[in-house]
C-alpha cells in the first residue's frame, strides 16, 4: 500500500515555478503538438477565440486540419524553437517524454494546453486549474479524501496522481498503478455489475459516446436512458448517434443545475460547451429532483464545472433511489475535495477515484452504494 501521507509530503516539497503558470504567450505565435482528438478540440477553442496556430506538430499524422499544416517534430525550424510557444495537446500518453523531445529539439517555451488555456482564455477553458499554495483548509480536505479512499490502492494512487498535477504540474507515473485509459465508466475496476433494468442518467451527454458504451455494456438490455444536453450542435450529433428508434431513451434539452432557472451559456464548442457568465446565449437549467418520473440506478455528471451544482440539485433523487454515481473532477477546483466531501456525506456509499488520462484529464469520483458493491472488493 502506498504511504499516502509520506507521498503527500513529497508532493508539497516539490518545486513549482509559479511565475511560469502566468507567463505570457509568445507574440511570435503558437504551435500545437498533437493532431489527435485533444488537438482538434484545442484548435476549435483557439479558433473560436481568434487564435490561429502557425502549424501542428505530430509524429504520426500527416496532411492538414482546417487548412493548418501538420509537420514532423524534426521539421521544426531552429528559429521557431526559440521564439514560438509550443502547446502540447496530448493526454493519452505520458507528458514528460514529449516535453523532453521538444526541449531536445531546442524549443524554449513548452507548456501543456491546459496551462496555455489558463493564460489565453481562462474563463472559457477551466481545466488548467491549479492550487500551487494549498491552505490549511485545502490540506484538511485533501486528507479527508485520502482517508475515504484508503480502502482501494488504485484510487489512492490515482488521487495522488491528481495532486501531483494540480498542486505541482507534474504528470506523475506510478508504475504499479497505470492510468486506466480503457477502463472508464462502466468498465472501471470499481464499477458494480450491471443488470438488465438499469436506468441511466447521462448528465452532459455530449454526442452520445458514453450512452453507446452503456448500451454495449448492458448488451442492449436496460429500462431507460435519460440524456441531458443543452448544446444545439451536440444535440444534432447525439440524435444521429442514438439507436434509430430511440426506444427507451429520453433526451432532455436542458442543463443540469442546482436550481430551475435560465443560465448564460456558450455553445458550439463540443466538449467545452458550458454555462458561463457572459455566454453568447441562454439555456434552461433544471434540477434532477425537479424532473418527474426518473428513478435512476446510475448517474454520470460531466458538466464542465457544474458537477457539484448538479449533485446539489439531485440530493433527493440520490437519497431515494441510491444510484451509482460517476462525477468528473477535471473542470474546476471543486474537484480537489468539495465533490468528494458531498459524496462522502451520502449514507452507506463507498468512494473510489480513477484517472483515465494523463495531466488530470478524465478524473472521476465513483460513489457506489453498499448494496451494489462487488463481493470481491
Q: What is the DSSP string of 31-83?
A: EEE--SHHHHHHHHHHHHTT---S-EE-SS--SEETTEEEE-GGGS-HHHHHH
* Cβ(180)–Cβ(206) below 8 Å: no
Query: Three-state DSSP class for 361?
Result: coil
Q: How far apart are CA 136 and CA 142, in angstroms?
A: 10
Q: Where in the chain is the domain with CATH 3.40.50.150?
A: 141-372
Q: How far apart are CA 13 and CA 8, in angstroms?
A: 9
Q: How far apart are CA 255 and CA 25, in angstroms?
A: 34
pLDDT recorded at residue 247: 87
Confidence band, pLDDT 50/70/90 cuts, at residue 3: very high
pLDDT recorded at residue 17: 84
18-120 under CATH 3.40.50.720, yes or no: yes
Confidence band, pLDDT 50/70/90 cuts, at residue 377: very low
Q: How far apart are CA 216 and CA 52, in angstroms?
A: 39
Residue 376: pLDDT above 70?
A: no
Largest Cα separation within the chain, whole Å, is 63
* Cβ(162)–Cβ(156) below 8 Å: no
Residue 106: pLDDT above 80?
A: yes
Q: What is the dihedral of CA 246, 250, 255, 258, to 10 degrees?
A: -150
Confidence band, pLDDT 50/70/90 cuts, at residue 124: confident
pLDDT recorded at residue 90: 96
- pLDDT digits over 324-366, tens only? 999 999 999 999 999 999 999 999 999 999 999 999 999 999 9
Confidence band, pLDDT 50/70/90 cuts, at residue 285: very high
* Cβ(366)–Cβ(191) below 8 Å: yes
Residue 136: exposed, middle, or buried by beta-carbon count in 10 A (0-12, 13-18, 19+)? exposed
Confidence band, pLDDT 50/70/90 cuts, at residue 87: very high
Share of the chain above pLDDT 70, in %: 99
| Alpha-helical regions (H) of 265-357 | 307-312, 315-321, 338-344
Task: Say which CATH class 141-372 falls into.
Answer: alpha beta
Beta bridge partners of 281: 265
Of 277, 125, 297, 304, residue with least CA distance to 205: 304
Residue 139: pLDDT above 60?
A: yes
Q: How far apart are CA 333 and CA 331, in angstroms?
A: 7
Q: How far apart are CA 352 and CA 370, in angstroms?
A: 12
The pTM of the full predicted model, rounded to 2 decimals, is: 0.96
End-to-end CA distance of the chain: 15
Q: How far apart are CA 310 and CA 187, in angstroms?
A: 24
Residue 41: pLDDT above 80?
A: yes
Of 126, 72, 65, 138, residue with least CA distance to 102: 72
Q: How many CB atoms lie within 10 A of CB 29?
A: 15
Strands (E), the chain: 30-33, 56-57, 64-65, 68-71, 85-88, 109-112, 199-203, 224-228, 249-252, 255-256, 261-266, 274-275, 281-286, 298-301, 324-328, 349-355, 363-369
Grid cell 459516446 — which residue? 209
Q: Where in the chain is the domain with CATH 3.40.50.720?
A: 18-120
Q: What is the mean pLDDT of the chain?
A: 95
Amino acid at each position: 500500500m502506498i504511504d499516502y501521507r509520506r507521498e503527500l509530503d513529497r508532493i508539497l516539497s516539490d518545486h513549482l515555478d509559479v511565475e511560469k503558470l502566468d507567463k505570457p504567450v509568445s507574440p511570435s505565435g503558437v504551435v500545437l503538438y498533437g493532431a489527435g482528438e485533444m488537438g482538434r478540440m484545442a484548435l476549435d477553442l483557439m479558433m473560436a477565440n481568434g487564435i490561429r496556430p502557425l502549424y501542428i506538430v505530430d509524429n504520426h499524422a500527416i496532411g492538414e486540419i482546417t487548412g493548418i499544416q501538420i509537420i514532423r517534430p524534426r521539421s521544426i525550424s531552429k528559429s521557431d524553437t526559440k521564439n514560438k510557444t509550443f502547446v502540447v495537446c496530448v493526454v493519452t500518453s505520458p507528458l514528460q517524454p514529449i516535453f523532453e523531445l521538444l526541449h531536445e529539439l531546442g524549443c524554449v517555451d513548452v507548456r501543456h494546453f491546459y496551462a496555455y488555456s489558463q493564460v489565453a482564455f481562462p474563463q472559457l477553458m477551466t481545466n488548467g486549474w491549479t492550487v500551487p499554495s494549498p491552505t490549511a483548509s485545502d490540506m484538511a480536505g485533501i486528507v479527508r479524501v485520502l482517508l475515504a479512499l484508503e480502502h482501494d490502492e488504485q484510487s489512492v494512487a490515482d488521487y495522488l496522481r491528481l495532486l501531483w498535477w494540480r498542486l505541482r504540474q507534474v504528470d506523475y507515473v506510478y508504475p504499479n498503478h497505470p492510468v486506466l485509459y480503457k477502463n472508464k465508466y462502466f468498465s472501471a475496476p470499481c464499477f458494480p455489475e450491471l443488470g438488465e433494468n438499469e436506468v441511466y442518467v447521462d448528465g452532459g451527454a455530449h454526442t452520445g459516446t458514453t450512452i453507446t458504451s452503456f448500451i454495449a455494456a448492458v448488451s442492449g438490455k436496460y429500462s431507460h436512458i435519460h440524456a441531458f444536453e443543452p448544446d444545439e450542435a451536440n444535440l444534432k450529433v447525439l440524435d444521429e448517434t442514438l439507436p434509430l428508434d430511440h426506444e427507451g431513451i429520453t433526451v432532455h434539452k436542458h442543463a443540469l443545475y442546482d436550481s430551475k432557472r435560465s443560465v448564460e451559456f456558450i455553445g458550439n464548442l463540443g466538449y467545452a460547451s458550458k454555462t458561463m457568465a457572459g455566454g453568447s446565449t441562454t439555456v434552461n437549467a433544471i434540477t434532477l429532483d425537479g424532473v418527474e418520473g426518473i428513478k435512476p440506478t446510475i448517474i454520470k455528471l460531466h458538466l464542465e464545472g457544474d458537477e457539484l451544482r448538479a449533485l446539489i440539485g439531485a440530493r433527493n433523487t440520490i437519497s431515494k433511489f441510491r444510484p451509482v454515481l460517476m462525477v468528473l473532477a477535471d473542470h474546476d477546483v471543486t474537484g480537489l475535495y468539495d465533490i468528494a466531501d458531498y459524496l462522502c456525506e451520502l449514507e452507506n456509499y463507498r468512494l473510489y477515484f480513477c484517472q483515465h488520462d494523463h495531466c488530470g484529464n478524465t478524473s472521476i469520483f465513483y460513489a457506489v452504494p453498499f448494496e451494489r458493491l462487488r463481493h470481491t472488493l
